[in-house]
Structure 1
């Protein structure tokens, strides 16, 4: 009787490869421990605007960063759900070809708290594909050398979009690439964008969105 009682506990704690996950989200099915756990991640952003009205700024890509935490919940050896909480910088560098800003650049930096919810599909033990929606909350904005109140800058505080990318693993380490496509408008309709006391663009019937290419490193801890 003692052996029978111990057997279920031993099976629940077994891990993949000789081993099952100690966290079972499948109602008893075998799961890969590599698909379940938590960790930290951070990396490089290359970010810009896209959409109608982009020509008003003639923007270049901005070098930026992101970092945060994630939790991964395995369903089986192939599929899992990954939820992340990231602090990420987006924005662009505007190039003006006339007026007071001739031959000059002005950088807009937008800092967001971002929540991606991603489906993860494993091609192999070391390579996976990630895809899913995300929602972002704008926390602060800096235009050129000034920190702006969000209402004064005419920014929408909420953004949303889609994310897709690939990730490789070596032991607990992760390296990945990702494309972050914003679908919400960066600016409110009808606002006038100002640098200092100068109006540089009037945004009416425009649809300007964030887009970001990411490269990141992570460190995971399985459960």
Structure 2
């Protein structure tokens, strides 16, 4: 009799273990399908940046790079918090064409370490919108000359201490999820002036603020 009860008990424990494992697997599958599992990833893309102010109306967008890492942290179904840490090349450009220097572009390059913290809303299974604040730190700045033959010459290395080291503003955009890959676009609007008083370079950029369009592709893990 004891042997029979042991067999029955063993069968019940085995069945319960298999059932529990199946339930856990089903819950994990549901979490993955509903996008409720945290995800980290890498991203990179193209910046199209410019300065804006009340006195400046420069429509010449300067191309630059953005690259970094991100984390997507689900809060509830359809809503996540997404912090990022990025390198972002911003600035502006102005074209010239004269008899002395020929044709080319003067480019102001601002090299930022940027951290956006975004709220992400999934409007559909593979489509989201996101918005939130950002802060950034100016790591370096220079002015280059891009000549018509494609050659680039550095004209001046700017002292970041003559500019505002910290920038802050708002960001908003959208993303399209294709499996682990995300493609999207974002607009960031700076709220602090690039330059500060006390130097020639600072005064030259004092009334300017950052405006930037980012096109990006990311891969999540």
Please tell me the TM-score bracket, short chain as reference. 0.7 to 0.9
Return the offset for 1:72. 0.8
Q: 1:12 to 1:180 in 2, by over 3 A?
A: farther
Deviation at 1:12, TM superposition (A): 8.7
User: In 1, Cα distance between the equivalents of 2:195 and 2:123?
Assistant: 39
8 Å contact from structure 1 (residues 53, 203) kept in 2: no
Aligned to 1:77: 77
- Distance, in Å, in 2 between the alignment partners of 1:42 and 1:101 is 35
2:27: which partner in 1? 14
The whole-number CA distance in structure 2 between the counterparts of 1:35 and 1:181 is 31
Cα distance, 1:96–1:191 mapped onto 2, change above 3 Å? farther
- Which residue is 2:169 aligned to? 161
Residue aligned with 2:30, SS: coil
Name which of 179, 189, 192 aligns with 1:171: 179
CA distance, structure 2, for counterparts of residue 155 and residue 13 of structure 1: 55
CA distance in 2, matches of 1:66, 1:101: 31
Q: Distance in 2 between matches of 1:147 and 1:13?
A: 58
In structure 2, relative to structure 1, the CA distance for the partners of 1:70 and 1:13 (3 Å cut) is farther
**Structure that is richer in helix per residue:** 2
Deviation per CA, 1:97-156: give whole Å up to 9, x if none. Answer: 99x9898642110000000000000001100000000000000111121322212xx211
Residue 117 of structure 1 pairs with residue 117 of structure 2: yes
Distance 1:215 1:192, change over 3 A: same
Q: Which residue of 2 aligns with 1:193?
A: 201
Task: Write the distance in 1 (CA, Å) between the matches of 2:124 and 2:37.
Answer: 12
Choose from 26, 36, 39 the match for 1:37.
39
Q: Is the 8 A contact 2:36 2:76 kept in 1?
A: no
Given the alignment of the two structures, is residue 130 of structure 1 paired with residue 130 of structure 2, yes or no? yes
For residues 191 and 210 of structure 2, what CA distance do their matches in structure 1 show? 8
Q: 1:47 aligns with which of 28, 46, 49?
A: 49
Taking only aligned residues, the RMSD between alpha carbons, in angstroms, comes to 3.2
2:107 maps to what in 1?
107
Q: Which runs of 5+ in 1 are unaligned?
A: 22-30, 195-201
Q: Summarize the Cα distance change of 1:83–1:12 in structure 2 as closer, same or farther, 3 Å threshold.
A: farther
Question: What residue in structure 2 maps to residue 86 of structure 1?
Answer: 86
Question: Post-superposition shift, 1:192?
Answer: 2.0
Instruction: Provide the residue aligned with 1:149 in structure 2.
Output: 159
- Tell me the matched-pair count: 197
Alpha-carbon distance in 1 for matches of 2:26, 2:199: 58
Quote how far apart the aligned CAs of 1:14 are.
Answer: 2.5
Q: Tell me which residue corresponds to 2:3.
A: none
Tell whether the 8 Å contact from 2:163 to 2:201 is kept in structure 1 after alignment: no
Q: Secondary structure at the match of 1:193?
A: helix
